[in-house]
Copies of this chain bind each other. A is one copy, B any other.
Amino acid sequence: MSTTSHKPPVIGDVAREAGVSVPTVSRVLTGAARVSEEKRQRVLKAIERLDFRPSVTARALVARRPRLIAVLAGNTSRYGYAETIRGIEESARAAGYTVSITVVETADEEVVDSAVALVLNQPIAGIVVLKFDRPGVAALHRLPKSIPTVSISGVRETGVPQAVLNESDAAHELVEYLLDLGHRTVHHVRVPPSRKEDGRTTGWRRALIARGAEVPTPFDASWDPESGRIIGMELADRPEVTAVFCGNDEIAMGVIRGLYERGRSVPRDVSVVGFDDHPLARMWTPPLTTVDQDFAGLGSRAYGLLDGLIEGRKVRMFSVERPPIVVRESASPPRG
């Protein structure tokens, strides 16, 4: 006398349907022990007939460790973020983990706390926090120490294990390249920093100081290319500006556009370089000189560290990589 309920079937329903005990069903489900072929078939049939799917929650409660990795980020769709997440997901998936994403919109306490609460409300094996911006940094600070956590950043910092792209060295090299071209100094348009100063800005500053060049006040852009365009228009009115180092390629494209709208040509009138090697950087006119950041690889390395933590292996605190600069056509010697 089966009650036609509309709730999903449970293992007991299958057992009854197949005329076996619950553990026997479990055995065919997990393959943990041998079951006679006959009962096995009956069970399989019953499972099919009932469209039964074991409750992952119940399974998790009994034995299995969580197979979910949470990513906390200030953003998901901008190039660097999206690629980093892609790298994490790809590696995690290969290892049988699912990745969840929760964005931390601002660094406000409430916002951060509610995002963190959301994350902790899932059965997670570990957390990756993208520390590219203020919200990311804030989130990291609110996470309980008891959960395996790694961070991703553009600069080495103590705390949890960290995957980093050494941005300051790359920026340093890029600025030196500009200086070597003959520019007296290099102006800088930065993206929203994660703390006082990001690696890109630090590298720029150091290179300038090392060469005894003047260090101009940086311009502040948002993540929107449009903000770069506005700054580009301002820059167009300042003849002393001959070289500009932008915080990322999208901003560089905006800056170039702004310059162009004000009648200045790149690189003839002013050289502009970016950072990241966005897929469109090479399509731009002129093709952008920039730094090739392997974000997907970065995400992948972060997963590697996290996996070590989860498995209880001894993991090193840093996985650092030095991104190479890629010279194209948006920078040249200054005029005259």
Inter-subunit contact A103/B98 (CB<8 Å): no
Q: Which residues of B contact A60 (CB under 8 A)?
A: 57, 123
Known contacts: A8-B146, A53-B144, A76-B82. The answer to whether A99 contacts B98 by CB under 8 A is no
Q: Report whether B67 and A77 are in contact in the complex, using a CB–CB cutoff of 8 Å.
A: no
A55 to B58, CA, bound (A): 12
User: A254 CA to B280 CA in the complex, in Å?
Assistant: 8
Q: Does A102 contact B (CB under 8 A)?
A: yes
Any B CB within 8 A of the CB of A253: yes
Smallest CB gap from A69: residue in B = B100
Contact partner of A144 among B51, B61, B99, B250, CB < 8 A? Answer: B51
Chain B residues with Cβ below 8 Å from A99 are 100-102
**C-beta contact mask, A51-92 vs B, less than 8 Å → 1, else 0?**
101011110110000111010000011010011011001100
Chain B residues with CB below 8 A from A70, complex form: 98
Q: How far is the CB of A245 from chain B (nearest CB, A)?
A: 18
- Chain A 112-129 interface mask (CB, 8 Å, partner B; 1/0): 000100111111000000
A96 within 8 A of B: yes
Distance (Å) between the CB of A74 and the closest chain B CB? 12
Binary per-residue interface labels of chain A (126-151) against chain B in the complex, 1 for a CB within 8 Å, 0 otherwise:
00000000000000000010100000
- Complex Cα spacing A57 to B260, Å: 57
Q: Is the CB of B86 within 8 A of A77?
A: yes
Interface string of A156-189 (1 = CB under 8 A from B): 0000000000000000000000000000000000
Q: Distance (Å) between the CB of A93 and the closest chain B CB?
A: 6
Q: Is the CB of A123 within 8 A of B123?
A: yes
Chain A, residues 239-260, CB within 8 Å of chain B (1/0): the string is 0000000000010011011001
Task: Please name all residues of chain B whose beta carbon is closer than 8 Å to the beta carbon of A225 when the two chains form the complex.
Answer: 279-280, 282-283
Q: What chain B residues lie within 8 Å of A214 (beta carbons)?
A: none
Q: Given the complex of chains A and B, what is the CA–CA distance between A283 and B249 in angstroms?
A: 12
Across the interface, which residues of B come within 8 angstroms of A86, CB to CB?
76-77, 103
Residue A285 lies at the interface, judged by CB distance under 8 Å to chain B: yes
Cβ of A229 within 8 Å of any chain B Cβ, yes or no, is yes
Chain B residues whose C-beta falls within 8 Å of the C-beta of A220 in the assembled complex: none
Q: Are B89 and A103 in contact (CB under 8 A)?
A: yes
Other than the known A77-B79, A89-B102, what 4 A-B pairs have Cβ atoms closer than 8 Å? A76-B85, A90-B103, A93-B103, A93-B118
Asked whether A98 and B121 contact (CB < 8 A) given A224-B279, A257-B283, A283-B254, the answer is yes
